[in-house]
Structure 1
């Protein structure tokens, strides 16, 4: 089926649902439709929008290629009185500059993937605005004849978008999250990195059908940082060097402030606010009577959340520490947990770059940050296998202990309900086997759910099952659809990649190790097939957090 035939097919479905109406009557017409038809309208409209978006993106890439700096005033954009293709696309599309720049970058990647940029792409004004998205599609060398153009690592993303497998937003999330592979200058190492990035792009494309855009972006960043720990340290250092605070008064005499955080400081302050305001943000429910009273008082407070955050920040600044932390934070005081595998811990101590991650948000940090924080924060060891599955289970009791919740946080990363992004600190531990029916309070029979989805599960008769240490499966109420496999957060799939025993593809290639350069990419990318199950003794490893 041709491009426009496909669009007409979707338009036909929309016409059957909505009918021939004026644009002004659309809200009324859709409001009278059944729920199923409303969702059908959204689904079919999205297909049309994505198809046309691909066409517009391709045209934006062509416009950028015809507006390069070396073309001067003869370029397409300059001929229309614009400095760059981004400016021209912004005017034509009536969109923001950020959105126009994204269209141009994706358009250039489509042309690059189709080898229509004619080899190495010269820097453009748009590249200078976002150097991380510039792509080098250089030639293979050493043939002595006309060299063929190597397919760029992101070519599969462009093909997937044009085929309708990836949306433009998913394409951009993966492309931007992975960034460009490092290029140390050694042809063999450069080729290994390019191959690794290409494999990562293909794997993330396969995941796109059942992952949110945000989760794809987070997983892409996790893969990038695992494959390139040197670059991860450099990015961490750049954000740390960029931290700043300034105050000023406007013309009305109102004082303003502007903060730019480094990674660790942002995580700490976010933890403070989340802990203090979790009763108002749908966090875990309070159990003790005094906690319930404090939570009710906070919910009834007339101040907005932003006003409460401001007052709390000023309290911290005035006092240095809160006089009564439990009154504000409840059962969990604010703090930052950094998770690092034993392998990364030892590697960092040997002076080789390695990566840790935050428990909430899964953002990557250099492993030495965990070692630094261990000096005044201490460590806690959790035994898990290569999929983050706990190997030491807690004793039976009615409620999950703090240690068990930590283990669940390391395994689940947050709410496991499909598409939910709530972090572990905002979740409750759910017994998949009801405690009242003899269920055990063990970590292999528990799962993290945010308060909303936990209540939704109980109130609407959903249930979660699990066979042994297999996947958690969410079962809808009768007649509401098929069971759903609750896959772990995609970033965690890669975060546990160095837990022994490693699959062969996890091992750094000898050549790259001998050169003492950044690790070869292909060796570190895990595939999505299930990890081979070994005995507990063979597969367990320390995780310090």
Structure 2
């Protein structure tokens, strides 16, 4: 004969089976026909059902853990079912991930009623958490991280403050997302255990690491690591500094910025949009920003603080014939994956090349001087003229940029200022890898999109000539002050 507790579990199983069957029957193949109000209402109700399911799983998991506790010489519920612990048994029986099984175990052990060694009933380990869980206000995903922090300070914190923290965190968890709940718990943790910050800081310092993995089969290099809060903040700040504000956040441009945006959009040929100019995803932009930070720092270290001195530490090796025809790959020391033709051509375009004569056995016989390389003074002049990456809408500073030969050397182009333009690495690569074309006209560069993007001879003026911009703004200010344009504008020689 089943006890009431067993009868309760039987009822839970029956309700769960009936609810699952009815919900499956009710779920349509698409929710496209629902109004906004009904759609969001359904989301809230199904989430409420999910919290109830997690509550039931937590209670059941706690009992599975009790019956799977290891006792010498006695088979447990887990071992009788071929599993070594409660998490493995839950994973098998519930067809859930191991992380989910552990989350249910931690949730259940915090909210279920307990028995003392004498058999007397005891309240749940965390009463406020249990009350919120049985009221359907919280779920395991939000509660388990809170429980972990509360357990860390349970013995050292003041009991009244601990109770206040538990109540406050359940109120926050019932109203916000698990992410917001976790942020607020960190604030409570500092108040509960002010002496724990120093040892926690030392633990973070000991745990910090950064690791560069081996290249994978596709030639990509994986990285992984753990940054201290300070290092993480530095990296986020550096990345956000150079992230395009039109992509990273909602921003209201100033009148001057909006005018530049309008001029850029008006100058685009028919059929070309701003996305065509820079189709990178946000994650790809962050990758390129990190590469720019490393590159500019490398330049500074190599030149004693002069960011525009060409680096010589990275050596790419390619046959001279392949280099001249522009379709060969180059090999870099320490990397098994070669650089593709577009990347090789881009490096040659900015940094030139040296001729190395090898013997029959591969011995170095003669090393020539660098050729086709823009000098330091040329780069300074081009940087002063362009101000940064000349690509439309790009905010990359001059320190990150390379100099591109507008007319390639193999096509008769010269390495001088009138044939050079400043481009960041990603846009320099786009120019070499795709069918974009740049032409110089009276010292001014113009960008022509590929034929598949537009029809006709539409061109986009490039560069950020600051002298010309200053003169243009002065003329606008004079017009505004005079109330009308009087006489002819001075010639634009910038």
Structure with higher Rg: it is 2
TM-score (norm 2): 0.49
TM-score (norm 1): 0.45
